[in-house]
Structure 1
Amino acid sequence: MIMQKIWLTGLDWDDELPESLACEIRQWYIELSDLNKIKVQRCIQIEQEGELHVFVDASSDAYGTVVYSVKPQLSWSNIVAAKGKVAPLKSQSIPRMELLAAVLGLTLTLIICSALKIDISHCTFWSDSMNVLYWIHSQSRKYKTFVANRIGFIHEHTSPSQWRYVPTKENPADMTSRGIPVNDLAESVQWWHGPKFLEYGPEFWPENKFQLHEAGKIEMKRNSMNSSFIDVNTDSDFRLDPAQYSDWNHLLRISAWVHRFIDNCQVAKHERRLSPELSIHELQQAEFQIIRTAQAECFSVEYPCLLKG
């Protein structure tokens, strides 16, 4: 990251560095002598009941991932591998950087799974980016090329249900994206063994949540963005009549299944189709659609005005 900062200043090889950069370099050299404090446990024993947990994170300067071997029945977890990269020189949004971190985490995990003979389905992926998790739990074709290609790669190798939310303070990959002094790294229990919740069962894991924020909406294709508004035409539009259903939950779930069917019909045979159980995201989308339809019918004057901006 320091080298990248130097390149961006445009200095020649024999120019004197600004004092701020010179201080960073001096501190980096001082910390080199502390590297002998770092002890890495190299022995990795993966039995049949073992799992891999992968954490990813990004900042404006770098992105990275760290992978842990976990044995919940023994309340044991230990680092397997980690990898970090500096941010591209071409400026990227933070959600895109976090997506790059997710792809890096999956790529490293595929290598580890191949070496240790582990099925990728036994891996759980963790990110603190709600935008990235929302994209992963959606269909890649809704987004622009940069996001669509990378979400497609993630869907090719993993199921969306394998991707979960972790609060930033419990995400050890934060150290790969922001850096950490050597002395702190040597003593960091979270870095070497992961967050405490890994030692316990899924019932103790953080609540899984994801939603699309404004920064993430920028990546949606224009026709997908416009789909948040619907044109109301009672003669031609298909929708379920709420009066035909005895309760809200019944209407909601059938609506979600109808949307699932329509989405799967638009996906090519070689692409991953959604199945078998409805996700929370699909139920939320069905609920939003029912509400949108009701609003469009009840506010018939205001709705076209909103469509026109």
Structure 2
Amino acid sequence: MYRMVRVCAADQPLQRIVWRDSNDVPIRTFELTTVTYGTASAPYLATKCLQQLAKEGTKTHTAAAKVLKEDFYVDDMLSGVSTVEEGKLLIKELIDLLQSAGFSLRKWNSNSEELMQNVPEHLRDERTMLELDSSSATIKTLGLVWEPNTDSFRISTPKWENDTPITKRIILSDASRIFDPLGIVGPVVIQAKLFIQNLWKLQCSWDDPISHEMQEYWLEYRRNLAALDDILVPRWIGVGGETWNLDQSLEFHGFCDASEKAYGACIYLRTVTKSGAIVVRLVTSKSRVAPLDNPTKKKKRQTIPRLELSSALLLAHLYEKVMQGLRIPGKLFLWTDSMIVKCWLSSLPSRWKQFVANRVSEIQHITRHGVWKHVAGVENPADVISRGMTPAQLKYQTMWFSRPQWLLLDEAQWPRTQATIESELDVTELEESCVTVTLQSTPPSEFFGLRSSFTELIRLAAIVKRFQFNARKTNRNCRRLGFLTTTDLNEALVTLVKLAQQESFPQELADLTKRGCVQDSSRIQSLNPIIIEGVLCVGGRLRNASISASRKHPYILDPQHPLTKIIVVHYHRKLFHAGQQLLISMTQDIRIPAPDLLEVEKEIDHLKNNKAAGVDQLPSELSKYGGEALARAVHWAIVKVWEERVLELEEWMEVKHKIARKRPFISKANKAIRLKFANEHADKSMEYLKTVLWTDESKFEIFN
């Protein structure tokens, strides 16, 4: 096939070779003009030519183009038709289409002798035609052996080298030679997988001979494989053909099961002929060994229910592959003998623990058009593949190759699916997830919704408290009048914090009042909370530090409470939409539980992406002289010093980031700002800052 594909003339020098027959003959140079076998690109180029040929022949050779596109494996074709007439047409179109590109499709074979008469004699498989009536006339197809006269598959037993010492490398090589892509003899192959897993568990080296007992077991396994030669599996699975009733439904039945050592799945296809006969055929199967426990990684051996769930996931993936290959619609029935798995699959994945939830979610998605049912273990054919079986036993296992007998009956006579009663199942095996939900026992007060500004909310609270104080008869002679003082505003803030904490942490306040500590399950337990003058604060070793009381024991607030959001919004706008770290460092007077900091960060991102109009408005003169970015940064830094606050590292980095484009330099020392402008309007900008934003020239130092 490769030699029929010509390489582009520009690429032919890349396939240049030199050659001479002997040392006495001059060296000759050759260039290979066609695709060369053995090069990395050869399979792709040959396959791409077939695909392009199928694309070009879609209109002229419809049937051949479809087969050429879907039923070729490199240069081998394996396809089928429903009637002899369709076969004759396909043979003619394929020969014509391939010959138009210089390809000649040889070694034709079919289970229909009438079809073979339409194939030119020089294109037929001579061995088959000569031995067509012989039961030993076979043709190997993708590692399987096909007998055209019986239209059946069989497994060809490899020939072993008995003189070679049995090592782990030899055993792995022997197991790989049993090529069973359809899983026809899956129960036999799983025994080899389990034996290799046992070698791995014993940590046997690759090239050292294994123990005498294990060698005897493997030699016996080799000898038993000879019984596979007598097993015949029908190639036709019941789809297509003159006897297929298109009006009847087509059904896929998948079975899964698990044991302590392995788990597996198999799929059968159930069809009904025109005469009403029911045909059930094994389509494919898949098996896997159960994972071993690993003490070094604290990985325990999986429980039986989890292995059953893994087999259900394997069945879902297997069904997905079958549908990709067959591309035929049909009803889907999936069977398991585990009531726990059925309970898992009938509920939302969020109910279960992570391991179960992930697999349940994927299974429900893949098999969303199917129905999960329960079947007894003795009637489950997947039980055979999960436990393994010798070739001699498999030969007489009718339930594996044929089907469960009840599939030949009407649906009303199938095993009835029992209702899943969770109360009768083991609670520990169900692995139900414990979801911790934080609920406020008391809804937030309407007072927090009266003002959206933190400053206005504090002033409103202060006014209300003053009114309460002045309305008391005992305070008639000492009423508070005039402007609100700092004391009034601080007391108002403490009152609002107390109210928010009573709504968010009622249980914690009660525990601290009675027992002096919160419960271990409390989300603020890591903050070592204490009560100071009725306010829930952060405890710890900072009580002896030489810092302000608000920094020693910050208030604890719930991130979901409206007061917390109002405070975050206030500082966020005050800092001109600063980043997360800067904003959190500036709100040191409050403390949010560590698991809930993400909520605050989300709120910050929301604010940054949805800035209110006018928040970053700057004096027009300053914007004109220094640029908007420069003006914003300088104005921000001036305000910070104006409030007599020492610039921290995060704040300083934020200033540098904001003014990086204009290249000024700002530093903080002794509550003074040193400004260096890299533009021609430096003098005017500084003069404006002095006259408008600042009055004390001693706090400015201008340098070039």
Q: TM-score range by the shorter chain?
A: 0.5 to 0.7
1:143–1:221 CA contact under 8 A, matched in 2: yes
Aligned counterpart, 2:311? 101
81, 84, 93: which one aligns with 2:287: 84
- Structure with higher helix content: 1
> 1:67, 1:216 → 2: CA distance?
31
1:94-173 alignment, distance < 5 Å: 94-119=304-329, 122-159=331-368, 162-173=371-382
TM-score by length of 2: 0.30
AA at the equivalent of 2:426: E
CA-CA distance at 1:19 after TM superposition:
4.9
How far, CA to CA, are the matches of 2:316 and 2:329 in structure 1?
13
* Most deviating of 55-64 and 39-48: 39-48
User: 1:34 is matched by which residue type in structure 2?
Assistant: A
Q: Distance in 1 between matches of 2:234 and 2:199?
A: 35
Q: Which runs of 5+ in 1 are unaligned?
A: 225-309
Partner SS, residue 64 of structure 1: strand
Question: Deviations along 1:140-181, whole A, 9 cap, x unmatched?
Answer: 110111111111112112249701111111111111110011
Cα distance, 1:11 vs. partner? 2.4
CA distance in 1, matches of 2:210, 2:306: 31
- Letter aligned with residue 219 of structure 2: R
TM-aligned CA distance change 1:5 to 1:151, over 3 Å: same
The amino acid of 1:70's aligned partner reads R
CA apart distance, 1:44: 2.6
Contact preservation (8 Å) 1:53, 1:124: yes
1:71–1:220 Cα change, 3 Å: same
- Please say if 1:42 is aligned against 2:235: yes
Residues 80, 160 of structure 1: alpha-carbon distance in 2 compared, 3 angstrom cutoff: closer
Structure with higher Rg: it is 2
Q: How far off is 1:138 after superposition?
A: 1.1
- The 5 Å alignment of 1:263-302 reads none
Shift of the 61–217 alpha-carbon distance from structure 1 to 2, 3 Å rule, reads closer
Whole-angstrom CA distance in 2 between matches of 1:216 and 1:37: 47
Q: Normalising by structure 1, report the TM-score.
A: 0.67
Aligned-pair Cα RMSD in Å: 2.6
Q: 1:53 to 1:169 in 2, by over 3 A?
A: same
Q: Which residue of 1 aligns with 2:258?
A: 58
Q: Is the 8 A contact 1:2 1:24 kept in 2?
A: no
Distance, in Å, in 1 between the alignment partners of 2:414 and 2:433 is 34
Cα contact 2:280–2:408 (8 A) shared by 1: yes
Q: How does 1:8-27 map to 2 (within 5 A)?
A: 8-27=201-220
3-state secondary structure, aligned to 2:373: strand
One-letter code aligned to 1:94: I
Per mean C-alpha deviation after superposition, the further-off stretch among 35-44 and 143-152 is 35-44
CA displacement at 1:67 relative to structure 2: 0.8
Choose the corresponding residue for 2:403, options 194, 205, 218: 194
Say if 2:238 and 2:281, in contact at 8 Å, map to a contact too. no
Question: Which string of whole-angstrom CA distances, capped at 9 and with x for unpartnered residues, describes residues 190-211 of structure 1?
Answer: 0012111101122111121245
- 2:432 maps to 220
Q: Is the CA contact 1:131–1:211 (under 8 Å) kept in the aligned structure 2?
A: no
SS, match of residue 33 in structure 1: helix
Query: Counterpart of 1:277?
Result: none
How many Å separate the matches in 2 of 1:157 and 1:12?
41
Q: What SS is found at the alignment partner of 1:68? A: strand
Structure-2 separation of matches of 1:105 and 1:20: 35
Give the residue type in structure 2 aligned to 1:88. Answer: P
Specify the SS of the correspondent of 1:12.
coil
Segments of 4+ moved more than 4 angstroms: none
Instruction: Supply the AA of the counterpart residue of 2:327.
Output: K
Deviations 1:63-101 (A, max 9, x none): 111111112542321111111111123421111111111
User: Matches of 1:200 and 1:18 in 2, distance apart?
Assistant: 50
**8 Å CA contact retained: 2:264, 2:288:** yes
| SS of equivalent to 2:221 | helix
Post-superposition offset of 1:25: 1.6
1:219-264 per-position Cα deviation (integer Å, ceiling 9, x unaligned): 211249xxxxxxxxxxxxxxxxxxxxxxxxxxxxxxxxxxxxxxxx
> Mean alpha-carbon deviation: is it higher for 59-68 or for 25-34?
25-34
Q: Which amino acid aligns with 1:109?
A: Y
Instruction: Please state whether the residue corresponding to 1:138 is helix, strand or coil.
Output: coil
SS in 1 for 2:256: strand
- How far the C-alpha of 1:128 sits from its partner, in A, is 0.6
Q: Residue 62 of structure 1: CA displacement?
A: 1.0
Q: Secondary structure at the match of 1:34?
A: helix
Is the contact made by 1:77 and 1:198 (CA closer than 8 Å) also made in structure 2? yes
Alpha-carbon distance between aligned partners in 2 of 1:29 and 1:8, rounded to the nearest angstrom: 22
Relative distance call for 1:84 and 1:131 in structure 2 (3 A) is same
For 1:92 and 1:215, how far apart are their aligned partners in 2?
Answer: 17
- Say if 2:267 and 2:319, in contact at 8 Å, map to a contact too: yes
Greater RCO structure (CA 8 Å; 6+ sep): 1
CA contact (8 A) 1:71 1:199 kept: no
For structure 2, the residue ranges without an aligned partner over 5 or more in a row are: 1-193, 294-300, 437-704
- What secondary structure, in the 3-state scheme, does the structure 1 residue paired with 2:234 have? coil
Distance 1:220 1:55 in 2: 25
**Cα distance in 2, alignment partners of residues 113 and 156 from structure 1:** 15
8 Å CA contact retained: 1:103, 1:150: yes
In 1, Cα distance between equivalents of 2:386 and 2:326 = 26
Distance 1:138 1:50 in 2: 28
